[in-house]
Amino acid sequence: MTFRRLIPAAVVLVVFGVAGQVQATTITFDSAITSPLPPVARGTVALEYTAPGFPAAPISFITQSFDFGGFTAGVLPGFQTTPTLSIVNDAANCPSITGGTACVVDGSHYLATEESFGIVPQFGGSFSIQSFDASALFPSGSCPTCNGGAGLANVTNIEVVGFLSGAIVAQQTFNVTTNFQTFALTAPGFAQVGRVVFTTTGPAGAGAIDNVVVVSTVPEPASLVLLGTGLMAVARRRFKQRG
């Protein structure tokens, strides 16, 4: 095989080799966060991110190349929802906004919500989800002074539902306590999903999520385009020199 034939073959192999690489990521909620709508500050305790309504993309926020928001079709009625997701950055000060009720602490930022939410890769494609940490939000069992005195209960069960091409491929339910625990997603379908929904079974309540471990197999499209373009430019120059 001549050098002229080897170059295009190398381009194909390298591009597809990169596309096939896997990269494990632990989403900690400590990294940079972007959002289509500006967050609302709850004192020094948390920033609340709300997904915009239809027809905008239901994204509450983006972090570590994953979109979090109202991608809940197939679990909740309707095309999408508009959840408000809080990034708790100073749980020690929770009593200042809850009327005296403490929040769970795990030593870092975490996601707190009482609403269902979905996760999808920012750049599309499929991924696997391996585990996550979760806890009920209030160590005391509930927050009687939250919601203007109406109270807010703890979540008791978290259900994780995996989708691929719009169909449910995996589903597991976990019982949570008032301490963070690591839950492994062992159902085979979670090895390849396009979207994951976190929701509750049983009574609604507030919970905390952290350290979501995902493995993405699809890089940013721009990376592949730049790589392929650069290699093809090298190939064209080589062909001209040999011509």
Render pLDDT for 147-164 as a digit per residue (tens, 0 to 9).
888 899 999 999 999 999
What CATH number does domain 22-218 carry, 1.10.20, 2.60.120, 1.10.3470, 2.40.50? 2.60.120
pTM (predicted TM-score): 0.81
Tokens of 208: 């905390």
The pLDDT, as a whole number, for residue 237 is: 55
Query: What is the arithmetic mean of pLDDT over 79-97?
Result: 95
The pLDDT, as a whole number, for residue 134 is: 97
Give the mean pLDDT of the chain.
86
Most confident of 1-10, 112-121, 214-223: 112-121
What whole-number distance in Å separates Cα of residue 202 and Cα of residue 222?
A: 43
- pLDDT per residue as tens digits for the range 16-58: 444 556 779 999 999 999 999 999 999 999 999 999 999 999 9
The pLDDT, as a whole number, for residue 234 is: 45
Of residues 39, 76, 96, 91, the one with CA closest to residue 208: 91
What whole-number distance in Å separates Cα of residue 30 and Cα of residue 212?
A: 12
Residue 3 has pLDDT above 60, yes or no: no
DSSP-assigned beta bridge partners for residue 133? 182, 210
The pLDDT, as a whole number, for residue 96 is: 94
Q: Using 50, 70 and 90 to split pLDDT, how confident is the model at 228?
A: low
